[in-house]
Structure 1
Amino acid sequence: MTGTLLRLSGNLRGVLWMTAAMASGVFVDVCAKLVSHDVPTAQILAMRAVTTVVVFLVIVMFIGTRQIRTRRPYAHLARGVLWYGSLFFVFFALRQMSIAEVNAYLFIEALLTVMLAVVILGEKLTARKLIATVLGLVGVWVMCVPKMDGFGVPLGVAAALIGAFCFSAQTLYAKIMTRTETNFSMLFWPQIVAFVIWVPVAIIMWQPAALADWLYSASAGFFAMLTNYMVLRAVRVADASVISPAAYTALPFSVAMDLIFFDMLPVPVIFIGAAIVVLAVSLLDYKGGAKPVAIVPADGEGADDNDVEDEIEPAGKAAAEA
């Protein structure tokens, strides 16, 4: 099987890796949604942090502490807060809406990252970026219309959009940190930050959790790490512009999981709005524009600082969930 894969072109292998990553990422959402509604969202994050930290500490025992040494502890702290803050909002949204609906709203993450790069990193605001952002907002509005009560935005929709914003911010932090930090340190320290923050919060509102809830939380962590691994494999063997469309397979995978596990289907307008957002993100990649990919630090060495769009993956949640 391995020999067969190696005979494929790098781009084809990259597409297969990215598609598999999207399938794995949807299982993160499934596991989070299967946790009992009696368990608060903060507790789900704490349970996931506990199980994930245990795994990482075991790995550190074998590989040593060199890979987790850092020159930027405060940057790791800020990114950890944003990372798990985004997961809090996404998990909250999953309790209000279907997996497909949440993932459709999260497609706007790539556009938000580009706009934040303009504001924070001082990158040039081109006409293409502006048009793509406006078009993306139109797509979000189309998805919101069936759920709006007058001008009110439902909590689930608001949570999904805030989650997308937080993912965008942590993406920019990762962009900056790749110059000095290793892959493993950028995965390890956010888990420690999450443990320190969310465990005390969860203790205050702790509800009895069944063994199944612990297993679902642990499984969410497992699939998140698996997703991140496959995304890294994808972007290392293939051109970013080739694999980026594969990230949108998250939507059909989400629809399938909604049907299989929860007997749910999103309203048709969700697909229309999602298609508009995808079109908007595609504008950034048209004819040499930004190439949306995941953050891929290579042993602490970063990419060029001039084009943050090169560091954006269209379904950024999948990579960030690890």
Structure 2
Amino acid sequence: MTSPASTPPAASRPAAAIGFILLAVSCISVNDMLIKLLSGAYPLHQMVFLRSAIGIVFTLGLVQVEGGFGILRTRRPWLHVMRGVLLVTSNMTYFTALAVLPLAEATALFFAAPLMITLLSVPLLGERVGALRLSAVAAGFVGVLIMLRPWEGAAREVPLWVQALPLLAALTYALNQIMTRKLGVASKASAMAVYIQLTFIVVSLGFFVVAGDGRFAEGARHESLVFLLRAWVMPEGGDRWLFLLLGVNATVIGYSLGQAYRLADAGTVAPFEYVGLPLAVVWGFVIWGSLPGPSVWAGILLILGGGLIVFLREQQKARAVSRRIMGHRDG
């Protein structure tokens, strides 16, 4: 999930926006599946670099279509840097968890982000949150607790800190959303995708300079840390095509997300991001033959239900405010 600022209602094209978000979510699901599939042989920072380096080539082509390199100029460069850093942190922590966690479980934990956005909007944006939305948020976090199962202690199969990584990803994503909502971003979808991919390239190259030889992975005992810190390896055989697919996927994801949230308001678009949850379950079964257990299913349903109630309630409130404004104008 990642949403640039929405366009004004006058420019709203909800049908097109829903099409773009469904395309983006489908590609995100493929992206997550490919990264998990390749996580046993390549370091995360190499995968992020190759994905973004390939993706930015295609994205610059879209920049030409949308107006040329001039659209890359921005009055708020530091806003894009801040958004990029938050999204890089969100992606890196989430992908690190993917090396160990089942795809459906990691995806469901990340979908706590809308619940966090609702809570953070109170202190950071001064918004008022009613009893219904607070109850939905509480139900969602009960689902998170059920999935984390902190009461298992030392008997747990996956360390609690690994399970917490998708939640950290959700938190940094939520902060990005709040910042975007507060400051706004007036850029073309392709330009926003270029800014984000450039940030990924810079950060992954920094990882390469510091840890690209794999020296920090030698003492690492956990699979997630090895995935993050192992040495770079030249892709071979069919893996080269998978990396190319990752790059093309990154282009489609960045552009489609930007377009979706530029063509309609977040309340219209965001609920369709939850299509990613059943897709994650499908990939987990098709590729790895795994299905969520009872506690994970319970957590998924609570997080899904809580998030959708929050979105639907926000959309309902937005329509009520719009009607009141139109009523005052007519009067």
TM-score interval for Structure 1 and Structure 2 normalised by the shorter chain: 0.7 to 0.9
Shift of 1:42: 2.1
Are the counterparts in 2 of residues 53 and 195 from structure 1 also a CA contact under 8 Å? no
- SS of 1:149's equivalent? helix
Greater mean deviation of Cα atoms: 72-81 or 244-253:
244-253
Distance 1:50 1:231, change over 3 A: closer
Shift of 1:241: 5.8
Task: Say yes or no: does 1:209 pair with 2:234.
Answer: yes
How far apart, CA to CA, are the structure 2 residues paired with 1:197 and 1:124?
A: 37
Distance 1:67 1:86, change over 3 A: same
Shift of 1:20: 4.3
Which of 1 and 2 has greater Rg?
Answer: 2
The alignment yields a C-alpha RMSD, in angstroms, of: 3.3
Distance 1:168 1:309, change over 3 A: farther
How far apart, CA to CA, are the structure 1 residues paired with 2:73 and 2:17?
A: 30
Consecutive unaligned residues of structure 1, counting only runs of 5 or more, are 1-9, 293-307, 311-322
Greater mean deviation of Cα atoms: 60-69 or 187-196:
60-69
What residue number does 1:271 align with?
A: 297
Report Cα offsets for 1:256-295 as digits up to 9, x if no partner: 1112222222223212111111221233245xx2139xxx
Shift of 1:54: 2.8
Are the counterparts in 2 of residues 28 and 220 from structure 1 also a CA contact under 8 Å? yes
What residue number does 1:296 align with?
A: none
How far apart, CA to CA, are the structure 1 residues paired with 2:259 and 2:187?
A: 19
Are the counterparts in 2 of residues 21 and 230 from structure 1 also a CA contact under 8 Å? yes
- SS of 1:120's equivalent? helix
Are the counterparts in 2 of residues 244 and 291 from structure 1 also a CA contact under 8 Å? no
Report Cα offsets for 1:9-31 as digits up to 9, x if no partner: x8777666544443322101011
Distance 1:214 1:92, change over 3 A: farther
Alignment TM-score, normalising by the size of structure 1: 0.75
Letter aligned with residue 85 of structure 1:
T
Greater mean deviation of Cα atoms: 225-234 or 85-94:
225-234
Shift of 1:150: 5.5
Letter aligned with residue 280 of structure 1:
G
What residue number does 1:25 align with?
A: 28
Alignment TM-score, normalising by the size of structure 2: 0.73
- SS of 1:266's equivalent? coil
Task: Say yes or no: does 1:190 pair with 2:215.
Answer: no
Greater mean deviation of Cα atoms: 45-54 or 156-165:
45-54
What residue number does 1:299 align with?
A: none
Are the counterparts in 2 of residues 18 and 243 from structure 1 also a CA contact under 8 Å? yes
Shift of 1:225: 3.4
Are the counterparts in 2 of residues 235 and 243 from structure 1 also a CA contact under 8 Å? yes
What residue number does 2:223 align with?
A: none
How far apart, CA to CA, are the structure 1 residues paired with 2:123 and 2:302?
A: 24
What residue number does 1:92 align with?
A: 96
What residue number does 1:290 align with?
A: 314
Matched pairs, number: 284
Shift of 1:125: 3.9
Letter aligned with residue 137 of structure 1:
F
Are the counterparts in 1 of residues 36 and 98 from structure 2 also a CA contact under 8 Å? yes
What residue number does 2:149 align with?
A: 145
Distance 1:91 1:231, change over 3 A: same
Consecutive unaligned residues of structure 2, counting only runs of 5 or more, are 1-12, 213-231, 320-331
Distance 1:291 1:95, change over 3 A: farther
Q: Equivalent residues in 2 for 1:236-247 (5 A)?
A: 244-247=270-273
What residue number does 2:81 align with?
A: 77
Task: Say yes or no: does 1:106 pair with 2:131.
Answer: no
Greater mean deviation of Cα atoms: 205-214 or 239-248:
239-248
Are the counterparts in 2 of residues 28 and 221 from structure 1 also a CA contact under 8 Å? no
Letter aligned with residue 84 of structure 2:
G
How far apart, CA to CA, are the structure 1 residues paired with 2:263 and 2:200?
A: 32
Are the counterparts in 2 of residues 23 and 253 from structure 1 also a CA contact under 8 Å? yes
Shift of 1:56: 3.0
Give aligned-pair identity as a percent: 24
How far apart, CA to CA, are the structure 1 residues paired with 2:90 and 2:151?
A: 22
Letter aligned with residue 167 of structure 2:
L
Greater mean deviation of Cα atoms: 125-134 or 114-123:
125-134
Q: Equivalent residues in 2 for 1:31-180 (5 A)?
A: 31-60=34-63, 63-145=67-149, 148-149=152-153, 154-180=160-186
